[in-house]
Amino acid sequence: MSLDGCTVCGTILQMSIGDIRLDVVFFQTDMGVEPVRRWLRSLSTSHKKAIGEDIKTVQFGWPLGMPLVEKLEPFLWEVRSKIPDGIARVLFTVDGHTMILLHGFIKKTRRIPQTEINTARTRLRQYQEALS
């Protein structure tokens, strides 16, 4: 992650470092896999662009609320990105001035599937344990 821009979707956005409220990083497993980065790479360019722009909005506008950001539970929020075939969700946590992208998926039902929340919770717990 560069401090002079957001590289979430491979595009570096040139903005003043003073404007950034949160650095953005991808959660990384013990094996070095970045699940959200892998998920983003599997999406179409238009989906990546929409999601990247919304993450950038959070990065430069934190704290934000609905309709873009919703707090799901303590230490867990979601970025909601409208895309043609549903709503993309990126579940994240904030640690100091860092936004950690934990899990991403495209939601096609009214409620977030419990399996998606459980995946984010597991990664959050792994992140927190790695800090101890």
Residue 80: pLDDT band (50, 70, 90) is very high
Q: What is the pLDDT of residue 85?
A: 85
Opening angle at CA 114, ends 65 and 116, nearest 5: 70
CA distance 114 to 33: 23
Q: What is the pLDDT of residue 35?
A: 98
Cis upstream peptide for 35 (omega within 30°): no
Report pTM. Answer: 0.86
